[in-house]
Every structure is written in C-alpha cells, then in structure tokens.
Structure 1
Amino acid sequence: MQKPSFSKLDVLVVDPSPHMGALIGQMLRHLKVRRIDEVQSSDGAAMLLQTHRFGAIMLNDVLAPMSGVAVVKALRAASEGLNRDTPVIMMSAAPDAAEIAAARDSGVTEFLRKPFATQHIESRLVAMLAAPRPFIEAKAFVGPDRRRKRAVPKGGERRNRA
C-alpha cells in the first residue's frame, strides 16, 4: 500500500497548552501537511469547525469549557455540520480503559497517548486516509465504525445499513 500524501490535508489541532499545540503543529509540518490551525479551547475549535472543512482533527481529551469527548459528541450530532464525518484523533496524557472506551463511543477515529512522536501521528493519519472505516449513523451512535476487523457475522448481518 502506498503511503498517502498529506500535501492537501488541513488539520485542526486543539490542545489547551499552546506549547504542545505548537509542537504538534511542527510535527505536522514535518509531514508536509498543507494547513494547520491551532486552538486552545473547545470554543475556539467550535468556531473553526463551523467555517472550515478539515481533513483531520487532533484534540486533547482535557479541554475547556467542554471536554474532548463532549466536543466529538457535538461534532457527530450536528447532522448538517461541515466536519461531522471528519476523522478525529484524540490525544491524552494518561488515558485509562474507560476513557478510551468513552472516546471510541463518542465517535473518535483514533487515539494517541502522550508523549508521542511524529511517526505515531503519521501512522494514525495513514490508517485514517488509506483505509477509512465506514461512517455509521444509528440511534445510539454516530461516527466511524468501531469494528476494526472485518469478520463475517454468523447468521447474517443484524444491522440495517441505510
């Protein structure tokens, strides 16, 4: 599989630390990402998400006034939103299993534990762009398919895909 180019990719970075946001921005510039917007709050992210279509969103789990999980839930719930189906990478310094599950259930596409290197960002972006998971819209969930393995269900598919 050929590695996709990031030269046409626009990425929104949301981290409460301006230093961490700048560091992530440098990593993305090293990967030759076309446009990088950095904000420190969920409010700043909400403003940009209403006006610009991004190719990927990287956000910290701890934000104010809304948490990262709450931002993703709101993003996925906005049926007419520009970035409803945009892949989201959640970043966390000390995630536990419950936090990772909550992120997955909110519609997060990938997860990164801090600290991480440029190669970790690259591998997540490649996974999201080269083999995107189907976008699911159900009563209790909106976001990328949470199943990573494609297994043939026994007894047929139970979900009704529209």
Structure 2
Amino acid sequence: MVSVDITQFNILIVEDNVHFRTLIRSILQALGITKLEEARDGIEALEILDAPDKSKRVDLVVLDWKMEGMDGVECVRQIRQLESESRSVPIIMVTGYTETSLREEARDAGVNDFLGKPISAQSLLGRIVSVMENPRPMVEGGGYFGPDRRIKAEPFKGSNQRKS
C-alpha cells in the first residue's frame, strides 16, 4: 500500500543520454507524475536546484552516474554542499555500474538510494516510494552532509555504546 502521493512530486531527471532521459520521463509520466524537470548534466542540475525561483522546488532527483563533464557522484557531492534547502533533496542514482565499491562511493557522496540498470517502472516506483516513505535522517559531520549512511539500524553493545 503506497501512502505517498507521488503524482504531486516535482522530479528532476539528470541524464546526459537523451534516449535514457526520455525513457525515465516516460516511466514517470506513466506513473502519473507530471511535474518533471530535466537536466542534461550535473552542471545544469545544480543550476536548477540552486535557482532563486523557489516556485520550482524539486522533491526528488533521479540522477545518472556516468555523464559527460560532471559525473553523478560529483554532482551529488555539490548538491549536498549547496547553501539552500535543496541540499537535502532525496537522490536516487541510476547506473549500469553496480559493483559494491561503486555503491559505497555513491552512498558516501550522499545518495539516498541506488538503482541498477536496466530499470523498469516497478523498480523505479519501488525506489521512489521507499525513499519518500522511509526517509533516512540527514546527518552532518566530518565533511559529510547527507542521509545517514547506516542502512540498517543495529543495537549497540557494550557500555560505551559502540558495536563490539
């Protein structure tokens, strides 16, 4: 049961491949989402997110990893350093590169979730609902700002509250 109304979201699609950007847009439109922004690369995405016109607030970013110019990971790092409320926007990274080390790099940059290609309407919807219904708290420290990188809450052991 979906409790969030995704049709009201304004979603920013950041993808340099016009065919894949069109595919993502088509999937989102088929899911009932009509408020869509598009960026061809990370630089354009930052311009949209940091624009002074707050009437176009973005609720979610769907971002490709490998793009010409500024790649997705660098774009995420820069989004998380913005001085505006856009720095907290949920980000789903979409990529064909799904190795564990790359997933960790994306997580450490500040993505909320990761979706491997090829994608389907069901897989994209699942990630959107997961990110929006179960937001991880935003944390800041040690040069990092973004969603709490601990995916699974585990009880701490010992008197010093550290995992043993």
TM, length-normalised to structure 2:
0.89
The aligned length equals: 157
**Cα distance in 2 for residues equivalent to 1:148 and 1:22:** 31
**Cα distance in 1 for residues equivalent to 2:160 and 2:3:** 34
Q: SS of the residue aligned with 1:74?
A: helix
Q: SS of the residue aligned with 2:38?
A: strand
Aligned match of 2:124 in 121, 125, 136? 121
**Cα distance in 1 for residues equivalent to 2:129 and 2:143:** 28
Structure 2 gaps of 5+ residues are none
Partner of 1:68: 72
Question: Post-superposition shift, 1:98?
Answer: 1.5
Question: Post-superposition shift, 1:40?
Answer: 1.4
Structure 1 gaps of 5+ residues are none
**Cα distance in 2 for residues equivalent to 1:20 and 1:109:** 21
**Cα distance in 2 for residues equivalent to 1:123 and 1:3:** 12
Q: SS of the residue aligned with 2:3?
A: coil
Contact residue 6 and residue 34 of structure 1 kept, 8 A: no
Question: Post-superposition shift, 1:156?
Answer: 5.4
Question: Post-superposition shift, 1:15?
Answer: 0.8
Q: SS of the residue aligned with 1:84?
A: helix
Partner of 1:110: 113
Amino acid corresponding to residue 33 of structure 2 in structure 1 = V
Q: Could you list the structure 1 runs, at least 4 aligned residues long, displaced by more than 4 angstroms after superposition.
A: none
**Cα distance in 1 for residues equivalent to 2:69 and 2:84:** 20
Task: Give me the identity figure in percent.
Answer: 30
Using the TM superposition, name which of 99-108 and 81-90 deviates more.
Answer: 81-90
Contact residue 60 and residue 91 of structure 1 kept, 8 A: yes
Cα deviations by residue, 1:74-128 (Å, 9 ceiling, x for unpaired): 11112x2231001101111123222111100000000011111011111111111
TM, length-normalised to structure 1:
0.90
Question: Post-superposition shift, 1:145?
Answer: 0.8
**Cα distance in 2 for residues equivalent to 1:141 and 1:34:** 33
**Cα distance in 2 for residues equivalent to 1:2 and 1:92:** 25
Question: Post-superposition shift, 1:132?
Answer: 0.7
**Cα distance in 1 for residues equivalent to 2:109 and 2:115:** 15
Question: Post-superposition shift, 1:41?
Answer: 1.4
Question: Post-superposition shift, 1:64?
Answer: 2.6
Partner of 1:25: 25
**Mapping of 1:1-150 within 5 angstroms?**
2-51=2-51, 52-78=56-82, 80-150=83-153
